[in-house]
Every structure is written in structure tokens, then in C-alpha cells.
Amino acid sequence: MEGKYKMIITRHFATASAWTFSIKPIKELLNRYVTDPHEWCDPFAGKNSPAIYTNDMNPARNARFCMDAEDFCKQIDVPLKGILFDPPYSYRQVSEHYKSLGIKAKSIDTSYNFYTRVMDAINPKLPTGSLAISFGWNTTGFCKNRGWEKIEIMIVSHGGHHNDTLVTVERKI
């Protein structure tokens, strides 16, 4: 147990989808936490984001903004209670995403810097008590060193040779 909150760890099975928020147990988790979408942002919105302040580099997505995720986070100037952090899960996926948009990925985009730059840009804008819900192949999330404590981890197994999707819910302390 970290801090004053008891951490919850659950495991579910669901069919894999490129659209993370359409996966049933993930959608149910988001319904529990994202109670007012006007207070949430999503710098990598893709499809089906419950947040109102959405961004996706791909103009074909139905996001409010279409820019680099770090730039999006730097320009956010509304009160927030949470962030949905669902970036490409690997550096290869980052490269493929950029390539699909006709952009050549730079080394800064295919290193640990890719995630930390976005987290560091939004972290000061999230007040104590706010939530970060991160998705990927690890449970690192926003971390203690940025002032966060884990309160829930959900493992979504997809079977076969698919990597599990790991969902990390943290509260800013």
C-alpha cells in the first residue's frame, strides 16, 4: 500500500483493440473515474476519449486540437481534475504513427524523452487530488518523483500473443 490509499489490483480478459477506450473493462474503469469530462484532458486522444480537452496529431481524429502532445499540454489553461495518458506504447509505434502522418520521427521522439516531456509539461497544471490514468505495457505512470501515488492497477489480458494492456490510476499528493 502506498500513502494513505489502499491500492487495488485487478485482472480482466478482453479482446484487444487499437482503440483502448472501447475495451470493455477499460471503458468501465473510465466511467468510474471520469465523472465530469469537462475537467479532463487527453493529449493522445485517438478515438472514444471521454475527455473534453482532446488532442491528436492525426487530423482525421475527432479531437479538439491537432498538435504535438507536449505543445498541447503546455497550452492547456483550464482547471483540470485529470489526464488520460494513452500514448503509443513503444518507440516503434511512435515511429509508425509519425510515418503514417508523413513525419519523420526524431531521436527525441523515440526515446524515454517522448513520454517525460509530455508528463513534465502537464504535471504542474494538475492540482493536488487530481487523477492520472495511464495506459501501456508498464505501470510506471506519472511516478512518485512527480508527486503521484498509485491507487489502482488494472491488467487487461488479451490472450494469445498480445501484450496485456496495463492501466495505472494515480492521485496527485
Residue from 93, 8, 4 nearest 44 by CA: 93
What is the pLDDT, as a whole number, of residue 99? 79
What is the pLDDT, as a whole number, of residue 114? 81
Grid cell, residue 65, equals 486540437
What is the pLDDT, as a whole number, of residue 1? 44
pLDDT at 120 over 60: yes
DSSP 8-state class, residue 6: P
Name which of 24-33, 83-92, 123-132 the model is least confident about.
Answer: 83-92
CATH value of 8-16+52-172 in 3.40.50.2300, 3.40.50.150, 2.40.10.120, 3.40.50.720 = 3.40.50.150
d(CA 50, CA 32) in angstroms, rounded, equals: 12
The residue type of 102 is G
- Give the number of other Cβ atoms within 10 Å of residue 133's Cβ: 24
pLDDT at 95 over 80: no
Q: Listing from the earlier edge strand, what are the strands of the sheet with 53-54?
A: 8-13, 148-157, 165-172, 131-136, 82-85, 40-42, 53-54
Residue with cell 471521454: 50
In terms of DSSP H, where are the helices of 34-142? 69-75, 91-100, 113-122
Arithmetic mean of pLDDT, 77-82: 95
Q: What is the pTM of this model?
A: 0.92
Using one digit for the tens of pLDDT, what is the confidence trace for 8-67?
999 999 999 999 999 999 999 999 999 999 999 999 998 999 999 999 999 988 899 999
What is the pLDDT, as a whole number, of residue 146? 97
pLDDT at 107 over 80: no
**Secondary element (H or E) of residue 31:** helix 24-33
| Contact yes or no for 12/157 (Cβ under 8 A) | yes
Task: Indicate the domain borders of the chain.
Answer: 8-16+52-172
Arithmetic mean of pLDDT, 94-101: 76
